[in-house]
Structure 1
Amino acid sequence: MAQGHLIPFMQLAQLIDRRKGYSVTIINTPSNIHTLRSSLPSTSSVHLVDLTFSGGPENTDSITHDEFYSFFQSIESSIRPSFRRFLSDAIAADPDNPPCIICDGSLGWTVEVAEELGVFHAFFLPSGAYGSAVFHSLWTQRPYEWKDSDEFALPNRPDIKLHRSQVSPMLLHANDEDPGFMYFRRQILMSSNSSGILINTAKEFERGGVEFLEAQTGTPIWPIGPILRMPKKSTPSDSGCVAWLNQHAEASVLYVSFGSENSISAPQMMELAMGLEASETIFVWVVRPPVGFDFEGEFRAEEWLPEGFEERMRERNRGMLIRGWAPQLEILSHTSTGGFLSHCGWNSVIESLSNGVPIIGWPLGAEQYYNSKMMVEEVGVCVEVARGSESVVERGHVERIVRSVMDDGGLGREMRRKAREMGKVLREAVGEGGASVRAMDEFLVKAFSNK
């Protein structure tokens, strides 16, 4: 029920649909199905079904973080009966070919429905293995018990140490009497009752993370990624962005974006702008209203950016500000793009590395902290500039980090070399005969072995 999850699910559905002998149906609420239908290629045979829904928000992009618990609780109570009816009807219509259910990791209750009806169930996590494993460990190990410490190690992995700034406020302040915490903890624990987990990564890229996740959940893991988004149809604004990128030298432009559902605070935005200008780095920045303001509202540059900032950047041809949606894949694949200042959502991470672009990390929530941690400590393709939307950000620090990553020599050159190596690993995994392709085949054989 989130944009960053719907898109990978659509790609997964089409991946399976391209194999002969399978019929694929995506089930969701009416509004989300409408969105998916508009982006489904006309050549696809994927079926889309909207379930009976009692009303209210249908996607996380229309709620605040404080509303997450009530949102998911409402989704379960409203959809669970119609989901069960849909599956029962499918089984009755073709009892010799029972379906395989693949559900989002946040909908743990679907395991109970699958067990009741006796059908194969798997979760699909659009995130990476390491980030998912750490996230799972935190929710099941109760990190709030260590909330008085600035740093602590995971009890089941003492070699993995975290700082309190890498743990969401909800977890740090939760307890066993918190209904929201207990609800999500139950959903996450359900992964151990599933028949398996599909993960949007490649084993050669995250071998340690895959093993950690398998040990953490006690469930078979099939790394089938990276499942990358397909570029949207170009629009005049897209071509304008690409034409602007064409004017600049190879690997000279920094792309700045915090994803489709995130933003930073107004003071952070001001310091980021000043740091970018001081660095003299050319950039493309996808701007949205800061935290605490209407995310879909007008971007008020005169309030949230330095005076005359956008005009100076335009006049000097050093910066382009894009309001709303941007053609991310086109930007990251362009030869002039040499770095990505990102919230480290997994879709953004794999899109960046698949194009050989190193990352400046600014994680804002969920498992983004651990994606960034892995990219910094294990892969060497990332440097963190900040964490969260509440941290103090100083323009001089932004300037130094941006300069170091965008430099043609030293750290920047080495990070780009490693990013290109990782991109090759990711592309080979999903190429003909690649490890992720074989994992997908193995999963489908397992899922339908009882026919």
Structure 2
Amino acid sequence: MGKPQAHVVLFPFPAQGHNSPFLSLATRLHRYWPGLIITLVSTTHNINSIRSSLPPDSHLHLHSLPFYLADHGLPAGAESLADLPVEQFITFFKATESLYPALDDFISNLVSNSSDGGPLCVVSDFFCGWTIDIARKHRAFHTTFLTTGAFGGAVFFSLWLNHPHRLTQRDQFPLPEYPEVIIDRSQVGLQALASDGTDEWSLFFKRQIMLLNNTDAAVINTVEEFEPIGLRMLRKTFKFPIWPIGPLLAPASEPSSSKSDDETAIITFLDLQPPASVLYISFGSQSTIQPEQMMHLAQGLEGSSCPFIWVIRPPIGSDPMGEFKDEWLPHGFKDRIKQKYKGLLVHGWAPQLKILGHKSTGAFLSHCGWNSILESMFNGVPIVAWPLNADQFYNSMMLVESGVGIELARGVMDSSMPMKEKVEEVVDLVMGPNAKGMEIRKRAKKCRDVMNKAWNEEGGSSMKSLLEFFKLINI
């Protein structure tokens, strides 16, 4: 008799930024344990989207769960945060808890139909803490996948558990669990700033954090050598094993024909620029900035010494999926940058990993979403930080303290308005021939080495973590 066949069920929160690391994890698992059965479970819309991106010979099994959006007052087809305005996010978060019965039925059928009684491990997103109850019910090993960074996650958990900003009138305050970490009020996201512990956001996040204490183990998309402080903080707070297994980056995929045209224009632009000369700007797949902030940013980019590629979306207050209007940018801006070959505006999709990996890309102006940070560091590209919400503020803190970035602005409030001169100054500082810029770029290159060594099969820290994790779950 051979060893019973093991099964890993992956359950990401339905959002693009969460799907990508789960898919990358599935690829890693199959590479090192080809006999493992791996099933990714999500809502029907997300499964269809994932299926269309997979190669024909993909090893990954997919299972869709019905998601009755109308029962929660959500529009039809809105099965991802990217489909919704910010004010409906909390409704969506809470609605995902209604997936419990369908997932429970799926796991129950897996257990009933398993002929050899092989081990079962459920790996779920932090935002889906209720999956722990299902795993316990069916005697499966449960693992929480933290798709955040370690430092950002630790601070985020502390803020939502303790609301320290409500205990003082001061603009700066320490965190109860980590008194060495001082937070500025401007680094508290809009939802957290308005929360009091009894609101919907507070209740949801507290519920997930309390459930997290019951997981068997956690894996996190970071690298031990990149975030030693953040990992120490998490291990101080939580008593279960925490295994850093990053960087888990978005799997490479071929763009559609429409995307291919955009990609050709982008790569052509980059190919014509000097090495490390281009600033890449993107606020992620869901975020954007105020109209006036967009105007000032455009003025500063035009006045800086660097060519740029800007993945641009309509500003706050406009339809995020609507047509982009020239009035949101300085008069004549598009024509001037086109004529001078100074900049390229990209609407919608962009091949971010290819841009960051191109020799002409010198820095990344980012909202500091965790996937973007990992992709930038993996390519040794320093960051000009403009965090907008949630853990992005603390990701930015970590980057600045690590010496691989400079913060340009913070948040989307009217008080956060980097003027033209500030944009020019910061961009030219990070990318120019000055001592500070050279040191930042040098540190970013060291981070690239750390990221690349993490998955070395002969002793890389993330490789070791994954092997130890699998020993723990007996697969």
The alignment's TM-score, normalised by the length of structure 1, stands at 0.96
- The answer on 1:325 being equivalent to 2:344 is no
Which amino acid in structure 2 is aligned with residue 82 of structure 1? A
Structure 1's 308 and 329: CA in aligned 2 closer, same or farther, altered over 3 A? same
Which amino acid in structure 2 is aligned with residue 259 of structure 1? G
Shift in Å, 1:149: 2.1
Residues 224-263 of structure 1 mapped to structure 2, 5 A cutoff: 224-234=245-255, 235-263=260-288
Q: Is the 8 A contact 2:165 2:185 kept in 1?
A: no
Shift in Å, 1:21: 2.5
Q: Is the 8 A contact 1:30 1:50 kept in 2?
A: yes
Choose 43-52 or 22-31, whichever is displaced more. Answer: 43-52
- What SS does the corresponding residue of 1:306 show, helix, strand or coil? coil
Distance 1:183 1:431 in 2: 38
Distance 1:36 1:148 in 2: 47
Q: Is the 8 A contact 2:382 2:444 kept in 1?
A: yes
Structure 1's 279 and 206: CA in aligned 2 closer, same or farther, altered over 3 A? same
Q: Is the 8 A contact 1:144 1:175 kept in 2?
A: no
Query: For 2:467, which of 432, 435, 441 is the aligned residue?
Result: 441
Residues 11-410 of structure 1 mapped to structure 2, 5 A cutoff: 11-18=24-31, 19-55=33-69, 56=74, 57-77=78-98, 79-94=99-114, 96-146=117-167, 148-234=169-255, 235-301=260-326, 303-377=327-401, 379-390=402-413, 391-410=416-435
Residue 431 of structure 1: aligned partner: 456
Q: Is the 8 A contact 1:144 1:174 kept in 2?
A: no
Structure 1's 352 and 179: CA in aligned 2 closer, same or farther, altered over 3 A? closer
Q: Deviations over 1:68-96 (max 9, x none)?
A: 2221222212x100100111111111262
Distance 1:244 1:171 in 2: 41
Q: Deviations over 1:183-212 (max 9, x none)?
A: 221112211110111100111111221121
Choose 198-207 or 261-270, whichever is displaced more. Answer: 198-207
Shift in Å, 1:23: 0.5
Distance 1:126 1:149 in 2: 31
The alignment's TM-score, normalised by the length of structure 2, stands at 0.91
Which amino acid in structure 2 is aligned with residue 436 of structure 1? S
Q: Is the 8 A contact 2:23 2:251 kept in 1?
A: no
Choose 311-320 or 112-121, whichever is displaced more. Answer: 112-121
Q: Is the 8 A contact 1:140 1:189 kept in 2?
A: no
Residue 23 of structure 2: aligned partner: 10
Structure 1 gaps of 5+ residues are: none
Distance 2:270 2:159 in 1: 41
Q: Deviations over 1:2-59 (max 9, x none)?
A: 1100111111112112223310000000000001001112222110000132234311
- What SS does the corresponding residue of 1:232 show, helix, strand or coil? coil
Structure 1's 180 and 127: CA in aligned 2 closer, same or farther, altered over 3 A? closer
Shift in Å, 1:408: 2.4
Shift in Å, 1:308: 0.4
Distance 2:386 2:66 in 1: 39
Q: Deviations over 1:112-140 (max 9, x none)?
A: 22222221101111221111111111111
Which amino acid in structure 1 is aligned with residue 181 of structure 2? I
- What SS does the corresponding residue of 1:326 show, helix, strand or coil? coil
- What SS does the corresponding residue of 2:272 show, helix, strand or coil? coil
Distance 1:444 1:183 in 2: 30
Q: Is the 8 A contact 1:100 1:448 kept in 2?
A: no
Shift in Å, 1:144: 4.2
Distance 2:335 2:240 in 1: 54
Distance 2:339 2:298 in 1: 16
Shift in Å, 1:147: 5.8
Shift in Å, 1:171: 1.3
Distance 1:7 1:179 in 2: 27
Q: Is the 8 A contact 1:133 1:212 kept in 2?
A: yes
Which amino acid in structure 2 is aligned with residue 162 of structure 1? I
Q: Is the 8 A contact 1:144 1:171 kept in 2?
A: no
Distance 2:240 2:157 in 1: 13
* % identical aligned pairs: 42
Q: Deviations over 1:325-347 (max 9, x none)?
A: 11111111111111110001111
Q: Is the 8 A contact 1:251 1:335 kept in 2?
A: yes
Q: Is the 8 A contact 1:33 1:50 kept in 2?
A: yes
Q: Deviations over 1:290-315 (max 9, x none)?
A: 011111111112x1100000110111
Q: Superposition RMSD on alpha carbons, in Å?
A: 1.4
- What SS does the corresponding residue of 1:103 show, helix, strand or coil? strand
Q: Deviations over 1:222-262 (max 9, x none)?
A: 00000112333251321221111111111111001111111
Distance 1:321 1:53 in 2: 36
Distance 1:337 1:176 in 2: 43
Q: Is the 8 A contact 2:164 2:176 kept in 1?
A: no
Structure 1's 96 and 230: CA in aligned 2 closer, same or farther, altered over 3 A? closer
